[in-house]
Amino acid sequence: MFNNKKKKDQNYISASESRRISRENRKITREFEKKRERKHVDPSEYTTKMHDENNVVEFDNLHTYFFTDIGTVKSVDGVTFDVPIGKTVGIVGESGCGKSVTSLSLMQLVQRPTGQIVEGQIRFNDGETVYDIAQTPTNVMQKIRGNKIAMIFQEPMTTLNPIFRIGMQLDEVLELHYPDWDKEKIKARTIEMLGLVGIANAEGVYKMYPHELSGGMRQRVCIAMALMCSPRLIIADEPTTALDVTIQAQILDLLRQLKDKINSSIMLITHDLGVIAEMADYVVVMYAGRIVEKGTVHDIFNNPSHPYTIGLMNSKPVVGKKVDELYCIPGKVPNPVAMPNYCYFRDRCEMRTEHCDGEYPPVIQLSETHQCSCYRYLDYLNKKKGE
Ligand SMILES: Nc1ncnc2c1ncn2[C@@H]1O[C@H](COP(=O)(O)OP(=O)(O)OP(=O)(O)O)[C@@H](O)[C@H]1O
Ligand SMILES: [Mg+2]
């Protein structure tokens, strides 16, 4: 009885089936790992050219999968977008749509060996060389990570070590990246950085432990740590979600100022559309591992086109606008294992057309800067073909 009930469950996998899957997974991931761990790789294998010199990063058809015992989770399934130099790109989408996995792929920090980049390129221009991060071996990546690309996380305590003083933790970053600097120079630079992120009592904070600081102060320390080496790109994954609104505004302001000061770019991940509107130049909207719409911040906010983006906009409270009930997108995100080959949003969509029964919609160019994957805009595609 119990077994039958279990078997009816669509997600149920028998023990032998699971063993078979994990055996296959091991075979696949071992190949990837072997390639990644090679010591003497010719640079021609992992260096490349940017398609547009104005970009610092170009994600090109990126696929990052997790080979789990219940099947392959296609967390990022064909993502293509650019981060221009000096600009901020906001990535939005519901929980689990692959925002973090996209940024972790760029840092080569996806949980290994289950998580692997299986296809596509991530071109990163460090100022001198252009790397294809998807092919870069671990030992080369260690020089890029932290130095050229820095990451700020949601919860500052995950970055800071609770048992070491702030100063020591920041000094350590500099020691690692500038081995020829002496202790005095390192300390002076750390204190200067603490001042730069708006900490008034920098000398005092230098000697404190993380628990002695408030959440906002801790996040400032994390920003100081991320910016230590003037990175080309800052990835901020929900940097202000753990903070209250006033501190949030201060931290975002700080991030914007510092970005301009060191002329780097920001990849800002958040599910807060307000933050995006304030900070971003370009917006990427993700849904279930794919990009459903992208464009300039103006395109997305003035002319949201994909039903999912329209839903997101409607579910955001607006000051001064009276509504009886805030809009809620019906249904939930589909199971990431065994995704169907039709629009992933179809079953939740209130604007479904007869075309939506077909395969996954193509990317449709709505304007020079605005793209959307939805059958509602088939006219644009047909018009283009007719031209
Ligand atoms: N280590 C892992 N093993 C298996 N699946 C994973 C792993 N990490 C992430 N995933 C899956 O990848 C998908 C994307 O996850 P990701 O963390 O990128 O979501 P997200 O968009 O950042 O969500 P959130 O807004 O909650 O941070 C999810 O379906 C998640 O279950
Ligand atoms: Mg995330």
Whether 14 lines ligand 1, by a CB cut-off of 6 Å, is: no
Q: Which ligand is nearest to the CA of 271?
A: 1
Q: Is the CB of residue 114 below 6 angstroms from any atom belonging to ligand 1?
A: yes
For residue 7, how far is its CA from the centre of ligand 2 (angstroms)? 32
What is the pTM for the complete model shown? 0.89
- How far is CA 41 from each of CA 100, 107, 242, rounded to the nearest angstrom? 28, 19, 41
Kindly tell me the sign of the dihedral angle through the C-alpha atoms of 25, 28, 29, 30.
positive
Q: What is the pLDDT of residue 272?
A: 84
Give the single-character DSSP code of 14.
-
Distance CA 377, CA 3 (A): 47
Percentage helix, strand, coil, to 5, in the chain? 40, 20, 40
Predicted confidence band of residue 381 (pLDDT cuts 50, 70, 90): confident
**316 or 209, which is more confident:** 209
Cα–Cα distance for residue pair 194/50, rounded to 1 Å:
35
Per-residue pLDDT band for 2 (boundaries 50, 70, 90) equals very low
From 21, 91, 97, 101, the mutation candidate for ligand 1 (largest count of ligand atoms within 8 A of CB) is: 101
What is the number of the ligand 1 atom nearest to the C-alpha of 286?
Answer: 21
Distance CA 261, CA 192 (A): 14
Instruction: Tell me what pLDDT residue 143 has.
Output: 86
Domain ranges of the chain: 307-386
Check if 210 has its Cβ closer than 6 Å to any atom of ligand 1.
no
Write down the pLDDT at residue 1.
45
CA of 376 to the centre of ligand 1 (A): 29
pLDDT tens across 46-78, in order? 999 999 999 999 999 999 999 998 889 999 999
- The response to whether residue 75 sits with its C-beta less than 6 Å from ligand 1 reads yes
**The two structure tokens encoding residue 306:** 């994909």
Residue nearest to atom 7 of ligand 1 (CA): 66
**Of 88-102, 135-149, 314-328, where does mean pLDDT reach its minimum?**
314-328
Whether ligand 1 lies within 6 angstroms of the CB of 99 is answered as yes
Structure tokens at 289: 């591992």
pLDDT at 269: 94
Which residue minimizes the CA distance to atom 16 of ligand 1? 98
CB of 96 sitting under 6 A from ligand 1: yes
Using CB atoms within 10 Å of the CB of residue 328, give its burial: 0 to 12 exposed, 13 to 18 middle, 19+ buried: exposed
Shortest-distance atom of ligand 1 to CA 94: 25
Which band of pLDDT confidence, cut at 50, 70 and 90, is reported for residue 308? very high
Rounded to an integer, the average pLDDT of 173-180 is 88
Q: What is the pLDDT of residues 266-281, one digit of tens each?
A: 999 998 888 899 899 9
Interior CA angle at 226 toward 265 and 50, to 5°? 35
Q: Which of 22, 64, 70, 73 has most ligand 1 atoms within 8 Å of CB, for mutation?
A: 73
From the CA of 92, the nearest ligand is 1
Predicted pLDDT at 63:
96
Q: What is the pLDDT of residue 10?
A: 62
Q: Which residues surround ligand 2, an ion (CB under 5 A)?
A: 100
| Most confident stretch, 137-151, 291-305, 308-322 | 291-305
- The alpha carbon of 103 and the centre of ligand 1 are apart by a number of angstroms equal to 11
